[in-house]
Structure 1
């Protein structure tokens, strides 16, 4: 089991643009974040990135804000891209599952246009919502494998 917490929740109305921070969001089962362009009945309903991954890009001298990588949830403390697919993630009453690690970067995304490289394809993770609920800044985020829950 690994624990972290939310430092930013980010949504956008259109795909291909940076996401803007919000204080809280509603996660809908088998959909994602209500009001976010990437929500839908597919395996990449929510994207997540750690602040440490974003900090790697800042060290190159880029001014980057949370949500600029189009991540829905930014958390503190963790190499979350090292968790295996199938890992469960609990945030408040909501339950999510990691479905993909990294992605193929498309050149039309806002961050690639802005700085020419992107950490999301390497260290971002994607999740589906198994059980919905409200999430907010500073909520605890718990990563665990299925067998850890039953122990």
Structure 2
């Protein structure tokens, strides 16, 4: 793995919810547990916890233990008239200064002093985004130059090393060695 430092890359906010709701309340800190997810969050577990995925196959590994979303998306959708705040899109960790969507699969994100997550793929924006704010789904989906769908709803990760994460914690990016594997929806 090669280390990559993003200037001013930091955690802006952290959120968790014990229930399966679209938005998650902002909290002062989250505790990441290796191989499990965020302590006290409905999506934590070794197997899938998202309701639609459980209905299809509850034995699938949970590649969506932690949802990270960049505040730069909030800035982008604000230009289209949408006001979104941390936690409202269901993310656990809101970031600034890391181009999450351009990271290769298996990138390690070191959050604060101890915690580390491995990026598994892109969040696939769903109809719940429109239920939260009508029309917002269109704003978090775009078209890349080659015409393919561009998913802007953040990335999903699994917890590699546990630890406590707070707003203001630094983020250190460690990209895997070798040929980068682009992120795909998980």
User: TM-score scaled to structure 1, two decimals?
Assistant: 0.87
How far off is 1:117 after superposition? 2.5
Cα deviation for residue 131 of structure 1 reads 0.9
Q: Which has the larger radius of gyration?
A: 2
Q: Gaps (5+ residues) in structure 2?
A: 47-61, 142-149, 178-186
Q: Secondary structure at the match of 2:136?
A: coil
Question: Could you say which residue in structure 2 is the equivalent of 1:126?
Answer: 156
Look up the match of 2:130: 112
> CA–CA distance in 2 between the matches of 1:132 and 1:53?
27
In the TM superposition, what whole-angstrom CA distance separates every residue of 1:112-147 from its partner, at most 9, and x where no partner exists? 212232328812100000110111110011111244
Q: Distance in 2 between matches of 1:14 and 1:106?
A: 18
The answer to whether the 8 A contact 1:52-1:78 is kept is no
SS at match of 2:72: helix
**CA displacement at 1:14 relative to structure 2:** 2.1
Matched residues, number: 145
Higher strand share: 1
Q: Distance in 2 between matches of 1:59 and 1:134?
A: 34
CA deviations on 1:81-139 (whole Å, 9 max, x unpaired) are: 10011111111201110001231x332x2x32122323288121000001101111100
The residue number in structure 2 matching 1:37 is: 42
Question: What residue is the counterpart of 1:62 in the other structure?
Answer: 82
Cα deviation, residue 13, structure 1: 2.3
Is the Cα–Cα contact under 8 Å of residues 30 and 129 in structure 1 kept in the other structure?
Answer: yes
Q: Specify which of 21, 41, 62 is matched with residue 16 of structure 1.
A: 21
Distance in 2 (alpha carbons) for counterparts of 1:88 and 1:78: 12
Give the whole-Å Cα distance in 2 for the aligned partners of 1:94 and 1:88. 10
- TM-score (structure 2 length as normaliser): 0.72
Q: Describe the SS at the equivalent of 1:144.
A: strand
- Check if 1:2 corresponds to 2:8: no
**Structure 1: tracts of 5 or more residues without a match:** none
